[in-house]
Structure 1
């Protein structure tokens, strides 16, 4: 199989390495992968490929995926962009191409496990996603090491989070209703984040309450709430304070191993299903590279079985044929998922 990989950042490099058995042509102006073509991702020729994997920054990834789909190429997209992935459904279907958006850890693996839970339980009363990429121990003044765009990080604390309450999509303050969550590495705190994306459409009518919460070490949220209340995260002013804050946050990088923890919990009546995974660094790769990249790589084993158009990860999770195949491929890369089913009965 001949694969075109767009982008060789942190995740793209992992994907490139894991696809070594295929002929992979990487496009990256910074040369992040060996032999990468230093071309504009929106101009690179698309002929002669069987699959495109998009690991570009969100600002251009939607356009890049659209271009590849218009050319009739199947696309696995690990990028996170603001546009609606379903806006590409007609484009892909018309060209006979298959498109899997949000093929990372969250959204991505989280969606698959949410879809699996709904397939097992039927309509659910509550569906919660808890996910965090954190240092293995609290470090620095925020108990956190900044490993990605600090401007995008600030968005997590300021952008209203869309959740489902009593079947209605509602925007909530991300730093409201903070809760503590037990985990294999200790107690963490969770706050709302705007990560449900396609789930707000695909599971509409199948869940009464649905939300995603980001995980951090305790006391982190209190400090970020203080910065927000003082105006340091504001986008108003000249220059906007958040850009100055982002520069300061970019210094908070610490040489501490990371970990990724994901838990998906669904409940219906007296029955509860929980999926859980903890990913740690391995083989010179960070936990985030492994957790995110392994999902994108695994999708190659199912994409040809999909109908043309957009197939979000939750639909793959609902399939008794496709879900085990993806989970098996993820497991081969060291990401193991535990399932717990609890049913309350009266004695």
Structure 2
């Protein structure tokens, strides 16, 4: 399968490496940043320089490919999806942006090829797992989805290090969040809904952030009383972000906030990804709850040291592409994450990266 990876940053680099190692994919990386391309070329991965903001140039560059993986920031997603449609190639991305996903869905309406956005961790894997759990109930009361990409060793006041896209991080902290409350889909505000919980003896907080639900509100509409997604952080993080975004009004000056974050908050490859899903409802006349958890740590994959967020984001994308190649997913139109079988995902060679530490449990409540 001939795959164009548009975006040669950290995650695009990781996806290219993972796919190339299998021997089943002919991978070419595209970017306008020659320095980023040089890093991939040094590892033997073919590269081509193209301005990803130029839809016509991109469309011409990807002619003849079977699939395009978009690993660029969310604000370029619609442009790249349009180029993919024009070139007649299947499209996959990692966007968490609700508006971009809606626009891509419209692009996919009459398409002969597949368009599958949100193929990362959250949205992505979290929706696959939550949907599987929800389908085990005859009546669904609550679905709670919690995900955190956290430093293993927090040292600053934010108790946070940069582990992925600053653009994506700020976007999910600023945009309205979908949820279902009292069986009705509604919008809730980011940074609200603060809650605290502990897992393995570690204290965490969680609060509303945008995009993590993917299309699950629509898929489970009319079947669930309550459904929400929250990002997990160490206690105290949310209050400081609220101070920056609301009190200092940086939500309306994102460029300044990005500059501050990049200058002041160091990146780390020593991270942990926490996945925590609870679903409660009726089964066999009894009110029960199922819990699905994973902790994935940084480790060496394919001979290369990778952070947990690299492993989970790139691993999810590669697993979904693998399943698509094996024709276990629809081959045209808009494809939702929850159309992926959790069993197939976890059995996949890339999905096995999600094994991590498991604390699955079921309890009567």
Higher strand share: 2
Find the aligned partners of 1:276 and 1:217 in 2 and give their Cα distance. 17
Within the candidate set 91, 94, 100, 2:110 is matched to: 94
- The alpha carbon displacement at 1:130 in A equals 0.4
Find the aligned partners of 2:311 and 2:14 in 1 and give their Cα distance. 7
Other structure's SS at 1:107 match: coil
Higher relative contact order (CA 8 A, sep 6+): 1
- State yes or no: 1:19 paired with 2:23: no
Deviates more, 1:100-109 or 1:83-92: 83-92
1:143 maps to what in 2? 159
2:360 maps to what in 1? 340
Deviates more, 1:152-161 or 1:166-175: 152-161
- The alpha carbon displacement at 1:231 in A equals 2.3
2:150 maps to what in 1? 134
Residues 272 and 343, structure 1, Cα contact 8 Å, conserved in 2:
yes
2:99 maps to what in 1? 83
Find the aligned partners of 1:205 and 1:339 in 2 and give their Cα distance. 30
- State yes or no: 1:169 paired with 2:189: no
Find the aligned partners of 2:320 and 2:32 in 1 and give their Cα distance. 25
Residues 15 and 318, structure 2, Cα contact 8 Å, conserved in 1:
yes
1:292-311 pair list within 5 angstroms: 292-303=313-324, 304-305=327-328, 306-311=330-335
Equivalent residue pairs, number: 335
1:26-175 pair list within 5 angstroms: 26-30=29-33, 31=37, 32-34=39-41, 35-41=46-52, 42=55, 43-44=57-58, 45-89=61-105, 91-92=107-108, 94-150=110-166, 152-175=168-191
Find the aligned partners of 2:123 and 2:9 in 1 and give their Cα distance. 18
Residue ranges of structure 1 left out of the alignment (5+ in a row): 318-322
Any idea what the Cα deviations from partners look like across 1:302-326, whole Å, max 9, x if unmatched? 2234142111111224xxxxx3222
- The alpha carbon displacement at 1:85 in A equals 2.9
Other structure's SS at 2:353 match: coil
Within the candidate set 305, 311, 316, 2:340 is matched to: 316
Other structure's SS at 2:339 match: helix
- The alpha carbon displacement at 1:150 in A equals 4.2
Q: CA RMSD in A?
A: 2.4
Other structure's SS at 2:190 match: coil
TM-score, structure 2 as length reference: 0.83
Residues 96 and 122, structure 2, Cα contact 8 Å, conserved in 1:
no
Residues 74 and 168, structure 2, Cα contact 8 Å, conserved in 1:
no
Residues 301 and 326, structure 1, Cα contact 8 Å, conserved in 2:
no
1:324-335 pair list within 5 angstroms: 324-329=343-348, 333-335=352-354
